[in-house]
Amino acid sequence: MVALSDIQTRFTSLYADAFRQLDPKRPPPPIEVRLYPYAGLNHTIRLRGGRVYVRVSDIFRDAPMNVQRALAFILVAKLLRRRTPQFQDRVYRDFACTPQILRASDIARRRRGRKIISSARGAFYNLERMFERLNRRFFDDQLKKPTLTWSQRRTRRILGHHDPVHQTIVISKTLDARDVPEWFVEYILYHEMLHIKHPARIIKGRRFYHTKTFRAEEERFPYYVEAQEWLERISLKRRTHQRARAA
């Protein structure tokens, strides 16, 4: 097995080369690259005090050299705010979306990640009862019920999230309010339930969550049009709030 120090030295040279090619007018800055036990397939790059710090998921420890080089170009391009070379992006995704790497990522998330669960019973709406009604009406009671919970905080950007690794659906606590119609909460939950029925598909190295089949089935929801109007209204409020805070 190759020593960890040798791996990190090899990684560092790849990132220095990426800097030289993407920013040829300046010499590469000091670079520190480390493998890190992220809960999933994550990689980060940061510039602090003139030094670049790179953290690569330890899932990529034994990735082929061409894949490591591709990741270096992707992260350095991100730091420099340059467009990622298409060839490098394709090399990375072709490897990252292989069944072995996806499985390793899911295992890491399951072992290292932590899911905060509160309760499915809110002040106004009960997610358990909603799930049972929607499952019976739209899925013939065929969906296996995941863990259902309201979020810890009142998030407005992400109103719902399905986590297949932890088999959980989280709905934003913002929707557990008297002025939010029950049908809108049901729509958000219905959308996340569709993710259970239609798992993400990998096409040309990319994960697609909202396929044509997914969208067609989503539009079956009786209040679909009204729900889109509500989503736009929420988005407008969020943008207005952000502008007010920036002013």
Domains of the chain: 4-112 (3.30.2010), 127-246 (3.30.2010.10)
Q: Which range, of 21-30, 58-67, 102-111, averages the lowest pLDDT?
A: 102-111
Cite the DSSP H helix spans in 34-181.
Answer: 65-80, 86-96, 99-112, 127-138
Q: For residue 177, what are its two tokens? A: 């309010």
d(CA 34, CA 157): 32
pLDDT tens track for 93-112: 889 888 788 888 878 877 77
Q: For residue 242, what are its two tokens? A: 């952000």
The chain-wide mean pLDDT, for the chain, equals 88
d(CA 25, CA 167): 49
d(CA 105, CA 43): 12
Sorting pLDDT into bands at 50, 70 and 90, what band is 150?
A: very high
Classify 120 as helix, strand or coil.
coil
CA distance readout (Å), 5 to 1, 10, 32, 71, 102: 12, 9, 12, 19, 26
The pLDDT assigned to 205 comes to 61
pLDDT tens track for 107-147: 887 777 666 678 899 999 999 999 999 999 999 999 999 99
Contact 159, 171 (CB under 8 A): yes
The pLDDT assigned to 181 comes to 95
Task: Read off the DSSP letter of residue 168.
Answer: E
Amino acid identity, position 156: R
Summarize the confidence of residues 163-190 as an average pLDDT.
Answer: 93
Q: For residue 50, what are its two tokens? A: 């003139």
The pLDDT assigned to 155 comes to 77
High-pLDDT (> 90) share of the chain, %: 62
Q: Is the pTM of this model over 0.75?
A: no
d(CA 181, CA 167): 26
